[in-house]
Structure 1
């Protein structure tokens, strides 16, 4: 998977939703999905960033994407349901969804976790993932082979001191992925979680400000796993926690 070589049009005729599409991993995943033939639905909070990704995709001659501005901290369950209904109306189906958007919160001792930080992290990293996944499943069921991909972390299956809200939210995300994967095991939907590992992103820089960025992966480095898990080459992979970087 780490040296996966996609065929030129391995995502042709697929419609794929990416959250957090305006920056970092979400941006690069969106560009790569479009590069291999997908029509990408760019979901994010900042319209200007989404428009930059849109322009980059169109300028490269890839399929024209769609833009969905949405603040996952404030969006309601009905907002996600309305969006899913619009996807079905406009595209007929959804072939993939990368639920990538997350926030770090604060790195602090467990006893000092502020209620607002806890609530914000759980809203974006867990509640929004639940509302979105639940709303998207009917659209994913309309595809002959669809991939629902959650984003986890190295602290998502082994807790780490001071990472409380973020770590706990990722534990819960992995559990949600496993429940969905088991329920839809005999269907056209596969559901997995991807751990990007140590990657040069703004979130990583916030958590490790003194880290030497030359010693960790770039966002480009980890894209083979993201493309693989959206392509039909991974159609038999279900219920797995997958590392985007070799250990």
Structure 2
């Protein structure tokens, strides 16, 4: 896959990015902004969101927007309010990039804490489904728009608990949604598996592993950017 260079490839695009406070989400946000998009930064960590906001502004890119939201406690009305706010402030939405995730508990199934299990599924799966559902009417208004989900190689790995299950379910949801939207030809649905990346989530999962040889989040952002810049939105990964 060829990665586009920075420029105006996403001029006038409005792109919502979840998990935008740090890691891959923050890198994707900076990359999209560097290519002319106005990005909506969604996360619960306001101070970190403000840092990403400042980085984008200081680089001379389009002024982003911050939308603080804790996915753990969010429900369907919260996502409907998000869609309404986007409509009122921007009048359009061209893409949603799902980068938000929580690791949950790495343990055998029989030792999984039920509360943690449910919270992990809610943040990684249910939130992505409800947010996508709320934004679909906006996305369908564009001639070509995109939904991008982040998956993981550990979706079928032992001990990865609700995190692994949620990522496998996201792949299934994306496939289902892709089939439903294919005939309409307006909203493309993609999955990106970034592999092993030097992020806080990796550090939590592998605290004894030296991450120095791993790719940085900034090295992964071009994978998302290439999809957002595709001219033929019917092709999927």
- TM-score category, normalised to shorter length: over 0.9
Q: Is structure 2 residue 170 aligned with structure 1 residue 166? A: no
Q: Is structure 2 residue 147 aligned with structure 1 residue 144? A: no
1:234–1:121: structure 2 CA closer, same or farther, 3 Å change rule?
farther
Alignment TM-score, normalising by the size of structure 1: 0.92
5 Å-filtered alignment, 1:16-165, equals 16-156=15-155, 159-165=156-162
Pairwise CA distance, 1:234:
5.2
Equivalent pair of 2:149/2:192 in contact (CA under 8 Å): yes
Distance 2:53 2:222 in 1: 21
Equivalent pair of 1:6/1:228 in contact (CA under 8 Å): no
5 Å-filtered alignment, 1:155-234, equals 155-156=154-155, 159-186=156-183, 187-233=185-231
Runs of 4+ in 1 over 6 A off after TM superposition: none
CA deviation profile, 1:36-86 (whole Å, cap 9, x unmatched):
000000000011111111111011100000110000000111000111011
Equivalent pair of 2:6/2:34 in contact (CA under 8 Å): no
Structure 1: stretches of 5+ with no match in the other structure: 241-247
Aligned residues: 236
Distance 1:34 1:204 in 2: 26
The alignment yields a C-alpha RMSD, in angstroms, of 1.2
3-state SS, counterpart of residue 85 of structure 1: helix
Alignment TM-score, normalising by the size of structure 2: 0.96
Structure 2: stretches of 5+ with no match in the other structure: none
Distance 2:205 2:42 in 1: 24
Equivalent pair of 2:31/2:222 in contact (CA under 8 Å): no
Distance 2:215 2:158 in 1: 24
